[in-house]
A and B are shown apart, each in its own frame.
Chain A
């Protein structure tokens, strides 16, 4: 693999316009809310005001008496006619229905759904549904939930513990005994998320003539169609998800399976299309859209030269009332549990507990960002403890460029990397020496100034084996992705994507790679999103996987097209294939290039001139390829060591912050990032991901929190209380790229959708603590809100 791709690439890595931009800029994209069907009905939900309560009765008679109201659905009816939603853990008594059954488990939980001819009537009628509750004392604190024996979120489950796993990789106890130094600390990652511009929306229509449930949804979720069919008790090939609707932002959270089974059920029952669109309050309070909420207790064993030998990690994650895929966010980090460092052994205790809060869903990085914050805190603490430079400690522990592929204690083999070089590029971009002068000058004037150092690994393209790690009855060892290329008789090329897209630029990705392989201008290639009954195999655009998986499957399908074109040319030119060369669509005789078959000729023959085809060749010119996850396909060994993700991107973040000592307010004044995701398919898309990820990470680090009061009431349902960074809070960024190609993918590409978000919280925490260091205090929880910092500066330990 070329270390510096570019010279021999026509389209890949070239700065080319992102083809999806046009429809977003011109306002012509089609979202779920734009799907309007004749006789469509609309939904409004009735929410529980109590975080934990028995449902004594539901009286919908007043609502049903309103003109235009068609139906009121309750949890009891749904349970009688459909299955609970399965999410992968082996916890059969933790039943998740889309509407509360018998009891409510968080403030805002849906108790009933009103269906009406228009959404306004539905809203009015929802207020008329009378629900009698018997309020119960909720369980809110995750540590208490872990110990609690009586106050249970799901009483039939017998405890509030969803998962309590123990991993021990390598000689942890020996390393802790041998180490010259040890330290321990706690960090807490607050409950935040990604909050897309578009809330979740779904339209369902049951087509009685053909027994198909048509679904248009703002969805980004693996196994969505499978879960929909299984929950509604209909065959899998009765569900047709239309994947040509755009998804207005996601990064993991667009998983409205609850909404979808409701409208699917109702559309069949009412023989009419049914639509449900969340409003913002529902999205925030009860749309199943909160991210990880995690406490880490970590011990580090290290030597006086700064070399880290071993980690003992206890991660306690608050999954809320219904786990969904949340617990698995404790498992992805296993694939990079030592970050970019050579650490000999690790103990990892991963605990997921139920509380009376909104259920947690996957968020960008699938648990890796909190874990990275914990790992980077360890490195900073080791440096501080030894009075060593934070950069030097990182350099001493980094895996070296010539040591790849490198296997870490948990079994992951990192594909490639050059961490020293990327960190140096980031430091150069930050003008690090000048930055130190700037910080020290600010300090001399009595200001609180700090520089952050944060690095991160971004595992991409995973194979779902983490499900087996947490539930051995789930023997799933792949997470493949298919691509399809069709060439028409005119020689025009269409790529078929099997999923929805939520802004990642899959069409640009596919067109660029087909163009590169076939030597055709990507602007002339069409890319379509097939519905789920027509689509190639897909596991959806999660896990930073599409460049890796869809990119590689597309390249392989294109190679199949070329192989067939070569056979047709060899037959017609009467030359052996070895003597022919494929260049930009045409096939030449290498020693006599005047003799050739053009692309148009090849395509015409393939489709129309069967007499010019080799014997027994399949007519037409099309190809499919399903790409298997590199390094996947294996179950874990007896020590629970396994390869989960094939590709590992790397970033280094260098922020500069100042803190107002009187108010505790943090301002980010400068920011530099070095990033390496191997070969960039489209540099603008990568840059957008890096900088967007940074903005997302700034939110997690400083502002965003879904807050619950001790009595379980939810406090952050609006943007006045859930504080997302705006353009004023996101600094200009100096970003610099580097390319260490992956040996495992078609063009050396790796994932790039998550790294900005993985690196920023750790780096900003590092900067804040550097600024606080002269005052003798440090902060170890996110978001680092002003009042928490000001309290530390005032010597406060409690009652901030």
Chain B
């Protein structure tokens, strides 16, 4: 094979998958949609001893809603989330972000859980999940736990998931009646569908014309998707009718730590993070005014 040799296990239940993980001694890896893992295997950048295929685990598919949340099971295809009426009406930020995720071919296969599990710092789904204060549900043979997205992403492609844990669902706070919520997702990439050079996800709550709660996540500008508490605080109490105050925008540069590569310099990413944050927040605020 192109990949280095590995053993393959097809799981048919969560219990089966977690027991494979428990036996894997940290050398097992979970195969969901394979849109990242398969190239990494073929390039021999990932060299697991065991690949656990969860595509046959029915209980890992589906989108559910409660009064205050939407639960997306880990193996739900990205295309399903993109076209989900539940996601569109109750987690509009994720719906907006989904348009930037890969191409229709990759979305047909790629999963919500796979993207969150991998947590590429420039990927859109973890970014939206972070802006939404989502929780990641992890399970091993002993039980399950939920980890806040902010605690889940700990470093470049590193997460709080233990080697024996399976990501089974993402719990996303949903829009609830009577609260004015506005969202916006902005991204720069050279081509449609690329990983973001810079992406900004904004999720704002308004009381009348006044912003009362702000969550803005930045992607592509640090080792992980990041939030900047001082910047968010700077939005609260503002109408944002004339854009984001410079005093708040000025806080962004120190809140991120972008790198330089062949696609953009660190300075470019800093400037564009500021530009996109202003656009995303202003657009969300305008939406809120229009919808209020």
Contact = CB atoms under 8 A, between A and B. Distances in A.
Interface of A: 120, 123-124, 127, 279, 281, 660, 662-665, 702-703, 705, 707, 715-716, 718, 720-721, 723, 725-726, 728-729, 785-787, 790-791, 794, 799-800
A725 B191 contact: yes
Contacts of B5: 124
Contacts of A786: 188, 190, 197, 264, 268
9 contacts: A127-B4, A721-B263, A723-B190, A729-B191, A786-B188, A791-B267, A794-B271, A799-B267, A800-B265
Given A707-B262, A800-B268, A720 B195 contact: yes
Contacts of A785: 190, 263-264
Contacts, number: 75
A790 B268 contact: yes
B251 to A, nearest CB: 18
A281 B40 CA distance: 12
**Interface pairs A-B: 5 shortest CB-CB:** A728-B192, A662-B275, A787-B268, A707-B262, A787-B264
B58 interface: no
A496 to B, nearest CB: 39
Q: How large is the interface on B (under 10, 10 to 19, 20 to 34, 35 or more residues)?
A: 20 to 34
B187 to A, nearest CB: 10
Contacts of A124: 4-5
B103 interface: yes
Contact of A663 (B188, B192, B262): B188
B272 interface: yes
Interface in B270-292: 271-272, 275-276, 279
Nearest to B188: A663
Contacts of B267: 791, 799-800
A721 B262 contact: yes
B194 interface: yes
Interface string B191-221: 1111101000000000000000000000000
Which interface residue of A663, A703, A729 has the most chain B CB atoms within 10 A?
A663
Given A786-B197, A790-B272, A800-B267, A728 B262 contact: no
A702 B194 CA distance: 15
A219 to B, nearest CB: 24
B2 A279 contact: yes
Given A120-B2, A723-B191, A787-B197, 18 more contacts: A123-B1, A124-B5, A279-B2, A662-B275, A665-B188, A715-B261, A715-B262, A726-B191, A728-B191, A728-B192, A729-B191, A729-B192, A785-B190, A786-B197, A786-B268, A787-B265, A791-B267, A800-B268
Given A726-B191, A728-B191, A662 B279 contact: yes
A790 B272 CA distance: 9
Contact of A703 (B190, B193, B197): B190
B191 A703 contact: yes
Nearest to A118: B1
B269 to A, nearest CB: 9
Interface string B176-194: 0000000000001011111
Interface in B237-276: 261-265, 267-268, 271-272, 275-276
Contacts of A794: 271
Contacts of A715: 261-262
B43 interface: yes
A665 B276 CA distance: 13
Contacts of B103: 726
Contacts of A120: 1-2
A374 to B, nearest CB: 24
B192 A726 contact: yes
Interface string B87-124: 00000000000000001000000000000000000000
B191 A705 contact: no
Which interface residue of B43, B192, B194, B264 has the most chain A CB atoms within 10 A?
B264
A123 B3 CA distance: 9
Contacts of B263: 721, 785, 787
Contacts of B262: 705, 707, 715-716, 721
A723 B194 contact: yes
A142 B40 CA distance: 33
B218 to A, nearest CB: 14
A154 to B, nearest CB: 28
Given A721-B262, A786-B188, A786-B190, A281 B43 contact: yes
Which interface residue of A720, A725, A786, A799 has the most chain B CB atoms within 10 A?
A786
Contacts of A787: 197, 263-265, 268
Which interface residue of B103, B268, B271 has the most chain A CB atoms within 10 A?
B268
A705 B279 CA distance: 30
B26 to A, nearest CB: 22
Contact of B272 (A663, A707, A718): A663
A247 B249 CA distance: 54
Given A721-B262, A786-B264, A702 B275 contact: no
A726 B193 contact: yes
A720 B190 contact: no
A248 B191 CA distance: 24
A726 B43 CA distance: 23
